[in-house]
Amino acid sequence: MKKILPYNKNLKGKTKVLGDKSISHRAIMIGALAEGITTIKGFLKGEDCISTINCFKDLGIKIEEQNDIIKVYGNGLYGLKKPKNTLYVGNSGTTIRLISGILSAQDFSCEITGDSSILKRPMKRIIEPLSLMGANIDSNNYLAPLNIKGSKLKGITYNMPVASAQVKSAILLASLYAEGKTIVKENFKSRDHSEIMLKNFGANINVNGNTIESYPIHKLTPQNIEICGDISSACFLIVGALITKNSHIIIENVGINETRTGFIDVLLKMGANISFLNTRYINGEKVCDIEVKSSNLKAVNIGGSVIPRMIDEIPLFALIASLADGNSIVKDASELKFKESNRIKTISTELNKIGCNIVETDDGMIIEGNRKLVANECESYNDHRIAMCIAIASLRCNEPIALNNYKCIDISFPNFFGILENLY
């Protein structure tokens, strides 16, 4: 399906974005393993998180919604039931990778699969550490479908070869069941929502810099969780306001966990007019209201430890760097090739169609600045973040971009266009 995108607009006013996707997945999974009812306010009802709910329902967990609160009737660490059919994660990499850590330790076997994008995404990164812990996982040459035979696990010390919160979280979830101590060491810190939430539920986890120690546990205690707005969704609106004239927006209640704010740090370095208001903590997560005004930006090079802290925002960086003064380079970002699409390729191809000049490199991009955007027909590659990035670029065009296959936006940001429309 094709959408003619809004164009030549600026953004003004107050808004909120939907709940954080990463935290929403974890609230269902960890809630399902606790003993009793976990309530979740602000859950993201995007397709990916609904896939997590469906998998846990198939594993025998009662999950219901009452007045916008999700109730998860946790059945304890050993309370999951063998599913009748193959578990299906849709497009959600987070679901398949995290749940594999849990399924590795159950007393049943099951199969798990997803859509055509999931069937291409690398699973060796979880199969390897989980197998070292004693898991028994069959795959299609390290790709899904995965066949997981529950086993007795033991703790390991694991130096993460790639910065990945999904891999780290799969190991930490497995460690709840593993005999002895599990240690995970990261070169660069990836998002730490699992560590924060597991600790809140009473897990025995200690974090010291980039090293996490976790011990097995008998019981997790249910929690009342309030999920903050998703910074990765907010970043689309932030860029929309920065790149259009006379824009001024406030996005309320956004999570600003340091492991997620790399892109904001980069924008500040580029000269962005962004302020943080009413900073507070909710369930151990830092939250604030973000105020953004149109800004003239200068180019910047990015690489190293900031990359995992802005991994989902790099397509947006490619857009904003194309409009900044000077040329920018992205390095150390080869992980982008393994997302919902090969985002180095897909974002360069699509932005180049609308007037940018981006050269792909093996681990990133070289981005020419000061470009003028021109409308064209663009593709989403069924990748929600590519689709939204093109929609934000259209705000800066004098004619509309036509975007094919835009429905994938519902994966992480249902009502994206509704929220955008209320701001122009």
Longest Cα–Cα distance of the chain, Å, equals 61
Give just the sign of the alpha carbon dihedral 124, 413, 390, 300: negative
Q: Which is nearer to ligand S3P, 286 or 353 (CB)?
A: 286
Q: How far is the CB of 180 from ligand S3P (least distance, A)?
A: 25
Q: Which is nearer to ligand S3P, 188 or 276 (CB)?
A: 188
Subset of residues 176 to 205 that bind ligand S3P, contact rule: CB under 6 A: 190-191
Helix, strand, coil fractions of the chain, as percent rounded to 5: 35, 25, 40
d(CA 120, CA 381): 14
Q: How far is the CB of 21 from ligand S3P (least distance, A)?
A: 7
Size of the site for ligand S3P (CB under 6 A): 11
d(CA 122, CA 120): 7
User: What residues have CB less than 8 Å from 295, skipping those under 6 apart?
Assistant: 242, 270, 271, 272, 273
* Residue of 38, 94, 182, 295 that binds ligand S3P (CB under 6 A): 94
Q: How far is the CB of 192 from ligand S3P (least distance, A)?
A: 10
Q: Which is nearer to ligand S3P, 168 or 396 (CB)?
A: 168
Quote the tokens at residue 184.
């995970």
Subset of residues 136 to 175 that bind ligand S3P, contact rule: CB under 6 A: 164-166, 169
Q: Which is nearer to ligand S3P, 3 or 191 (CB)?
A: 191
Sheet with 157-159: strands ordered across:
157-159, 182-185, 211-215, 204-208
Q: How far is the CB of 90 from ligand S3P (least distance, A)?
A: 14
* Residue of 226, 230, 289, 312 that binds ligand S3P (CB under 6 A): 312
Q: How far is the CB of 93 from ligand S3P (least distance, A)?
A: 6
User: What residues have CB less than 8 Å from 209, skipping those under 6 apart?
Assistant: none
Q: How far is the CB of 250 from ligand S3P (least distance, A)?
A: 25
In the complex, which residue's CB is closest to ligand S3P? 22
Q: How far is the CB of 296 from ligand S3P (least distance, A)?
A: 30
312 is catalytic: yes
Q: How far is CA 201 from the centre of its chain?
A: 22
d(CA 223, CA 218): 16
* Residue of 235, 311, 324, 392 that binds ligand S3P (CB under 6 A): 311
Is-contact 356 371, C-beta < 8 A? yes
> Within 10 Å of residue 120's Cβ, how many Cβ atoms?
14
Q: Which is nearer to ligand S3P, 5 or 103 (CB)?
A: 103
Q: Which is nearer to ligand S3P, 371 or 385 (CB)?
A: 385
Beta strands in 87-152 (DSSP E): 87-88, 109-113, 136-138, 146-149
Q: How far apart are the first and last CA of the chain?
A: 24
Of 312, 332, 362, 363, the catalytic one is 312
Question: Mask of contacts with ligand S3P, 7-36, x by CB under 6 A?
Answer: ---------------x--------------
Quote the tokens at residue 369.
């600045």
Residue 336 has phi, psi (to 5 degrees) of -60, -25
Q: Which is nearer to ligand S3P, 231 or 324 (CB)?
A: 231
92 lies in the site for ligand S3P, by CB under 6 A: no
Active site residues per annotation: 312
Residues that bind ligand S3P (CB under 6 A): 22, 94, 164-166, 169, 190-191, 311-312, 335
